[in-house]
Amino acid sequence: MIRETWCKSALTISKLPGIEYSLNPYVGCQHACVYCYVPSVMHLKRDEWGKTVHAKVNIPSVLQKEIKKRSRGIVGISTSTDAYQPAEKSYELTRKCLTVLARHDWPVDILTKSDLVLRDIDILARFSDVRVGFTIPTLNDKSRRLLEPHAPSIERRLSALRECGENGLRTYVFCGPLFPDVEKEGVKNCVDVFIDAGAEEIIIDSFHLKRGIWESMASVIPDEEKMIFEERIRGAVKLFSEFERHCRGRITLTRAFA
C-alpha cells in the first residue's frame, strides 16, 4: 500500500561520514529486507515493514526552496529507505529531486539495491560530482531471496553497477551487512566479481543486531542453518582482514563498522 504524504523538510543533517545531508523521498521500503534496522530505529512493527510506504509527494518543491538557503554539501540519497524501490517507478520523486540537485550541481551519493537507477543516467550525467553505490551483501541469490525477498537479484545489481561505470559514473559496492554465507574461501571471488563489474571501492559492514532483528531473521532461516548463521553474524568482523588482503593494490576498501 502506498500512501501520499506531505513533508516539511527535504534535507536532513547527516551523521554518516562523508555525507552532509540525507534525502529520503519515501518512508518505508517495499524491498522488505528482514534485517533492516529502520523499524527498530523508528519504532515500527517489524511484521508490518514493507507493507506500507509513504511517498512524500511535495519533496521536490520543498527541496527547491531549501537548496537556496542551505550551505552546499554532499547529499546522501537512500540513507534510510531505498529511493529506487518499486514506488519510484510511478511517483518519480527521486528523479524529480535529482533534477533539482543537478540544476544547482550539488554533489550526490546514491546507495541502492535497484537497477531502476539506470533510468536516471541522463540526469546523473549532468553532475560534476556524483557516486552511485549498490548494496551487494552476498553473491548467493538464494540467500538474497531469503533475507531481501522483494529486492532485485544480485545479477541485476551487478549488471547495473557495470552499466553505471560504463557511462562514466563513479561507482562502489556496499557489501553490507555481510551475509553469513560469505566464507573466508569465497572472499577473493567476491572481490574479483566486484572489480570485474567496475566498482572503484568496496565498503564492508556487519549486521547491526538492534532489537528484533535477529528474531526477524530467525523466522525465515531454515532451522538447520540458524546456529551457523548466528555464529557468523557475530564474527563477520573477522573477514575484514581477508577482504583487505585481496583488495590490497587493486581496489579501495573501507570498513564501515567499528
Mean pLDDT confidence for 74-78: 96
- The full 3-state SS of the chain, as one line of letters, equals CEEEECCCCCEEECCCCCCCEEECCEECCCCCCCCCCHHHHHCCCHHHCCCCEEEECCHHHHHHHHCCCCCCCCEEECCCCCCCCCHHHHHCHHHHHHHHHHHHCCCEEEEECCHHHHHHHHHHCCCCCEEEEEECCCCCHHHHHHHCCCCCCHHHHHHHHHHHHHCCCEEEEEECCCCCCCCHHHHHHHHHHHHHCCCCEEEECCCCCCCCHHHHHHCCCCHHHHHHHHHHHHCHHHHHHHHHHHHCCCCEEEECCC
Contacts of 53 (CB under 8 A, 6+ apart): 1, 2, 3, 26, 27, 28, 29, 30, 81, 85, 87
Report the 10 Å Cβ neighbour count for 171: 23
Position 250 pLDDT exceeds 90: yes
Tell me what percent of the residues of the chain surpass a pLDDT of 70.
98
Position 258 pLDDT exceeds 60: no
Instruction: Output the nine-digit C-alpha cell for 34.
Output: 528482514
Q: Which tens digit of pLDDT belongs to each residue from 140-187?
A: 999 999 999 999 999 999 999 999 999 999 999 999 999 988 989 999
Predicted pLDDT of residue 143? 92
Residue 237 binned pLDDT confidence (cut-offs 50, 70, 90): low
Position 234 pLDDT exceeds 80: no
Position 46 pLDDT exceeds 80: no
pTM tops 0.85: yes
Residue 68 binned pLDDT confidence (cut-offs 50, 70, 90): very high
Q: How far is CA 35 from the centre of its chain?
A: 13
Predicted pLDDT of residue 138? 96
β partners of residue 198: none
Q: Which tens digit of pLDDT belongs to each residue from 183-213?
A: 899 999 999 999 999 999 999 998 877 888 8
Would you say 121 and 164 are in contact if contact means Cβ atoms under 8 Å apart? Answer: yes
Would you say 22 and 63 are in contact if contact means Cβ atoms under 8 Å apart? Answer: no
Residue 215 binned pLDDT confidence (cut-offs 50, 70, 90): confident
Arithmetic mean of pLDDT over the chain: 92
Q: How many residues does the chain have?
A: 258
61 backbone dihedrals φ, ψ, rounded to 5°:
-70, -35
Position 79 pLDDT exceeds 70: yes
Q: CA 60, CA 57: separation in Å to the nearest integer?
A: 8
Q: What is the CATH number of the domain that holds 174?
A: 3.80.30.30
Would you say 247 and 202 are in contact if contact means Cβ atoms under 8 Å apart? Answer: yes
Buried b (16+ CB within 10 A) or exposed e, 184-201: eeebeebbebbbebbbbb
| Domains identified in the chain, total number | 1
Predicted pLDDT of residue 129? 98
Residue 232 binned pLDDT confidence (cut-offs 50, 70, 90): confident
189 backbone dihedrals φ, ψ, rounded to 5°:
-65, -40
Question: Domain residues for 147?
Answer: 2-255
Mean pLDDT confidence for 115-123: 98
Predicted pLDDT of residue 72? 96
